[in-house]
Homo-oligomer: A and B are copies of this chain.
Amino acid sequence: MTLRELQEIIQATFGSKDARRGVEGTFMWFMEEVGELAAALRAGEDREHLRHEFADVLAWLATLANIAGVDLDEAVEQLYGSGCPKCRCCPCACVAAKP
């Protein structure tokens, strides 16, 4: 699935509710899912459970991006398409950054 397809599915499925809720309310939902991901990772849940929590966080990030008018595909392509955004190397050759 491309990032654009994901944003389109989220928009088609939840777009009208998302627009009514706005950025602040949506951020609260996003954070709830981030918390559930943290709990699942900490507890060492199985792959199926983790997959579910990662999907929810990503779906809510896509929702936020839809509301903010940001194309996630364009965003990651621009920043990470050539490897590390700082040293522009792949693998990253930064010594201090991102330890």
Chain A residues with CB under 8 Å of chain B are: 1-3, 6, 9-10, 12-17, 21, 23, 27, 29, 31, 34, 37-38, 41, 47, 50-52, 54-59, 61, 64-65, 68-81, 83-84, 89-92, 98-99
Give the shortest distance, in Å, between A96 (CB) and chain B (any CB): 12
A/B interface sample: 21 pairs, CB < 8 A: A1-B73, A1-B77, A2-B2, A3-B3, A3-B58, A9-B81, A10-B80, A12-B83, A13-B90, A17-B98, A27-B38, A27-B41, A37-B64, A41-B64, A52-B79, A54-B61, A54-B70, A56-B79, A58-B76, A59-B76, A59-B79
Given the known interface contacts A50-B70, A84-B13, the answer about A1 and B1 at a Cβ–Cβ threshold of 8 Å is: no
Q: Which of B47, B75, B76, B83 contacts A70 (CB 8 A)?
A: B47
